[in-house]
């Protein structure tokens, strides 16, 4: 696959045709997905979130899986396509059968969040674009009413997210509607052109704001009293979540033990850098304070910070293209953006399918009151979200019409593969010599340590494991994990604001298995690279390894290793 050259041909085997039919039907059922993928034909619609709407998705998944079972691949490429398709849809069906998409609430990834975020991606260049925005805004109330029916049906079956998640989502909604923060909908309407469309947009935005306010109030008054206090999801739920996010089955106890060792390794490396910065003092906190107060490593103002990110990203693209990576001209554009919300999240959105209508974008939702930025912490973030991280991975996948069917290019996303690659990309930039500045290297290790701590806390809390009696920090040996211990551990090992760590803790508790996918995914990427190095010996070429791996598209990590073993 290394030497394949993109052309106008599209894979057209039975598994490719099935996958593309599945995507076409999925887009009809989920117009939010269509907008996310840059397919604009459904921007005037919203999904049906009633029980019947979820039922239609379940039937589509079940039918496509049955169709795939009867297909015999005719080539290695088709084997990979089938493996990816069956692995993803199989887990999707398991999740539906467990009621996860129907009932799981959190403030990061749930139906209300998707309904809010879709407006960040919609075209707004013309008055007609704004007419479409208004049409979709006017449907928010119906969509949330349907979702409420589904949540009630799930609650009657004993499936309700923990009360921490229900109330946390209500608080997040209040931060969008102006009740406890910025008025996102008012801000959106204010951007509409001053012509005949503006009153319609303003009225629709007001209706959407009211619908979200009412839904948030219902969460607090009606669903929260039915929600369990216990945060831990338990082993059965966690094992399914872990397999879903990784696309691989891992030994959870072994992974938990590895997390402790990995965090200790990272913190030891950080202490060595700190000693160089602090004149022998190995205190990581002292080094961080020194760097935070260094004028050469700080930027004032959100716009100036955005411009700094853009320059760093552009430089990485220019220098890596043709040297360490194959980066076609069509995907060299990445826009760094300040998000229209203020919840502190950082995320990437892929380009539109045509690679021109909407470029790949890195978003930063800067918290209110934050106007000073420490660049030493964020160099690695730009590499994670941009190049060689998510942007290279996702945009290159969309470009490979000669190797990947449309479902593979647009709709197949595995967190362990994607976030694991992005974390691998951070470490790779150190290997390639881009983190020679001790501050930038400390920032990369700080981010790595944060992800290692997530592995420990996420698995420990949800499985309610024992803290190892011989753990490398001598911390709480023999005690059982609780949410309070989780926060104490994060506070001890993550140099971040209290409010951010509290939000992170809630995220882990409400989205089991997702946070470890970063570090565990990176671990599997590194193992796959070492396996390739062992197989090929002196013929191993790092650039070819990256090209071969990325040309497979986003894929479960077990299917990734199976495919790489054949190359």
Question: Would you call 228 helix, strand, or coil by DSSP?
Answer: coil
pLDDT band with cut points at 50, 70 and 90 for residue 342 = confident
For the record, the structure tokens of 430 come out as 């150190």
CA dist list (Å): 225 to 215, 222, 326, 464: 15, 6, 54, 24
In the predicted structure, residue 261 carries a pLDDT above the cut 50: yes
**What's the average model confidence in pLDDT over 379-403?**
93
C-alpha–C-alpha distance, residues 377 and 148, integer Å: 40
Query: Which single residue is written with the structure tokens 């008025």?
Result: 183
Question: Would you call 364 helix, strand, or coil by DSSP?
Answer: strand
- H helices of 389-437, where? 390-399, 406, 415-431
**What's the average model confidence in pLDDT over 198-221?**
98
In the predicted structure, residue 481 carries a pLDDT above the cut 90: yes
C-alpha–C-alpha distance, residues 554 and 534, integer Å: 24
Q: What is the tens place of the pLDDT at every residue in 507-523?
A: 899 999 999 999 999 99
**What's the average model confidence in pLDDT over 205-232?**
97
CA-nearest of 95, 120, 101, 115 to 38 is 120
**What's the average model confidence in pLDDT over 163-171?**
95
Q: What is the tens place of the pLDDT at every residue in 420-473?
A: 999 999 999 999 999 999 999 999 999 999 999 999 999 999 999 999 999 999
> Does 301 or 9 have the greater pLDDT score?
301
What local confidence, expressed as pLDDT, does residue 8 receive? 44
**What's the average model confidence in pLDDT over 470-480?**
97
CA-nearest of 542, 461, 444, 566 to 508 is 461
pLDDT band with cut points at 50, 70 and 90 for residue 9 = low
CA-nearest of 430, 415, 461 to 259 is 461
Instruction: Please give the DSSP secondary-structure letter assigned to residue 99.
Output: T
C-alpha–C-alpha distance, residues 212 and 140, integer Å: 8
What local confidence, expressed as pLDDT, does residue 3 receive? 36
Decide: 410 and 404 in contact? Cβ < 8 Å. no
Torsion of CA 470, 472, 473, 475, to 10 degrees: -30
**What's the average model confidence in pLDDT over 243-267?**
98
Query: Which single residue is written with the structure tokens 């205190």?
Result: 283
In the predicted structure, residue 2 carries a pLDDT above the cut 90: no
For the record, the structure tokens of 421 come out as 């690659």
CA-nearest of 117, 161, 170, 159 to 140 is 117
Sheet holding 346-349, edge to edge: 334-338, 360-364, 346-349
Domains of the chain, by residue range, sit at 14-230
Which string of DSSP letters, residue by residue, matches 433-465? T---SHHHHHHHHHHHHHHHHHHHHHHHHHHTP
**What's the average model confidence in pLDDT over 324-331?**
89
What local confidence, expressed as pLDDT, does residue 559 receive? 94
Checking 153-161 for CB contacts under 8 A at 24+ apart, the result is 153/51, 153/102, 154/99, 154/102, 154/103, 155/103, 155/223, 155/226, 157/99, 159/99, 159/102, 159/103, 160/103, 160/223, 160/226, 160/227, 160/228, 161/103, 161/104, 161/105, 161/106, 161/227, 161/510
What local confidence, expressed as pLDDT, does residue 319 receive? 95
For the record, the structure tokens of 142 come out as 């119906």
Q: What is the tens place of the pLDDT at every residue in 42-77?
A: 999 999 999 999 999 999 999 999 999 999 999 999
**Angle, helix 542-550 to helix 557-564, in steps of 10 degrees:** 130
Count the alpha carbons within 13 Å of 527 in the hemisphere toward its beta carbon: 13
pLDDT band with cut points at 50, 70 and 90 for residue 10 = confident
In the predicted structure, residue 5 carries a pLDDT above the cut 60: no
Question: Would you call 323 helix, strand, or coil by DSSP?
Answer: coil
> Does 366 or 297 have the greater pLDDT score?
297
**What's the average model confidence in pLDDT over 177-192?**
89
C-alpha–C-alpha distance, residues 544 and 525, integer Å: 15
Instruction: Please give the DSSP secondary-structure letter assigned to residue 321.
Output: B
**What's the average model confidence in pLDDT over 140-159?**
98
* Residues whose CB is less than 8 angstroms from the CB of residue 539 and which lie 6 or more positions away in sequence, other chains included: none
C-alpha–C-alpha distance, residues 93 and 96, integer Å: 5
Helix (H) or strand (E) holding 337: strand 334-338
**What's the average model confidence in pLDDT over 235-245?**
96
CB atoms within 10 A of CB 437: 13
C-alpha–C-alpha distance, residues 35 and 239, integer Å: 31
In the predicted structure, residue 222 carries a pLDDT above the cut 50: yes
Q: Which residues pair with 274 in a beta bridge?
A: none
pLDDT band with cut points at 50, 70 and 90 for residue 353 = confident
Question: Would you call 415 helix, strand, or coil by DSSP?
Answer: helix
Instruction: Please give the DSSP secondary-structure letter assigned to residue 513.
Output: T
* Residues whose CB is less than 8 angstroms from the CB of residue 237 and which lie 6 or more positions away in sequence, other chains included: 98, 100, 462, 512
């Amino acid at each position: 696959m290394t030497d394949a050259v993109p052309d106008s041909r599209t894979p057209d085997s039975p598994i490719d045709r099935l996958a593309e039919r599945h995507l076409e039907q999925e887009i009809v059922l989920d117009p939010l997905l269509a907008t996310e993928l840059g397919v604009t034909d459904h921007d005037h619609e919203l999904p049906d979130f009633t029980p019947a709407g979820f039922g239609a998705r379940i039937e589509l998944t079940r039918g496509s899986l049955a169709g795939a079972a009867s297909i015999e691949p005719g080539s290695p490429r088709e084997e990979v396509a089938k493996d990816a398709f069956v692995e993803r849809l199989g887990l999707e069906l398991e999740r539906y059968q467990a009621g996860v998409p129907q009932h799981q609430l959190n403030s990061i990834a749930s139906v209300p969040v998707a309904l809010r975020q879709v407006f960040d991606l919609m075209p707004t260049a013309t008055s007609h674009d704004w007419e479409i925005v208004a049409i979709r805004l006017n449907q928010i109330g119906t969509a949330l009413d349907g979702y409420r029916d589904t949540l009630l049906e799930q609650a009657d079956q004993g499936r309700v997210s923990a009360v921490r998640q229900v109330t946390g989502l209500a608080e997040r909604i209040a931060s969008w509607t102006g009740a406890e923060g910025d008025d996102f909908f008012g801000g959106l309407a204010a951007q509409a052109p001053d012509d005949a469309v503006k009153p319609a947009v303003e009225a629709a935005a007001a209706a959407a704001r009211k619908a979200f306010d009412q839904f948030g109030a219902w969460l607090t008054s009606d669903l929260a009293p039915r929600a369990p206090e216990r945060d831990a999801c338990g082993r059965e739920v966690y094992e399914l979540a872990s397999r879903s996010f990784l696309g691989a089955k891992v030994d959870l106890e072994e992974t938990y033990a590895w997390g402790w060792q990995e965090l200790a390794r990272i913190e030891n490396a950080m202490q060595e850098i700190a000693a160089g910065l602090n004149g022998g003092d190995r205190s990581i906190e002292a080094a961080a304070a020194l760097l935070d107060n260094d004028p050469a490593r700080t930027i004032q103002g959100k716009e100036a910070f955005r411009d700094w990110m853009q320059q760093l990203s552009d430089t990485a693209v220019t220098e890596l293209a043709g040297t360490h990576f194959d980066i076609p001209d069509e995907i060299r554009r990445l826009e760094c953006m300040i998000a229209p919300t203020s919840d502190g999240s950082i995320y990437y959105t892929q380009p539109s399918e045509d690679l021109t209508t909407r470029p790949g974008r890195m978003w930063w939702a800067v918290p209110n009151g934050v106007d000073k930025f420490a660049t030493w912490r964020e160099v690695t973030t730009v590499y994670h979200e941009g190049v060689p991280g998510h942007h290279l991975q996702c945009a290159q996948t969309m470009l490979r019409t000669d190797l990947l069917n449309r479902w593979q290019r647009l709709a197949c996303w595995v967190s362990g593969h994607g976030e694991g690659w992005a974390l691998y990309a951070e470490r790779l930039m150190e290997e390639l010599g881009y983190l020679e500045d001790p501050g930038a290297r400390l920032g990369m290790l700080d981010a790595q340590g944060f992800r290692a701590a997530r592995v420990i806390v996420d698995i420990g809390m949800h499985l309610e494991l024992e803290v190892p009696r011989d753990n490398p920090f001598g911390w709480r040996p023999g005690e059982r994990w609780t949410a309070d211990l989780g926060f104490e551990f994060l506070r001890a090992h993550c140099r971040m604001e209290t409010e951010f760590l509290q939000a992170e803790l809630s995220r882990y508790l409400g989205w089991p298995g997702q946070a470890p996918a970063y570090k565990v995914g990176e671990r599997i990427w590194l193992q796959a690279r070492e396996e390739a190095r062992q197989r090929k010996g002196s013929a191993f070429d790092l650039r070819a390894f990256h090209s071969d791996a990325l040309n497979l598209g986003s894929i479960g990590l077990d299917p990734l290793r199976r495919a790489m073993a054949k190359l």
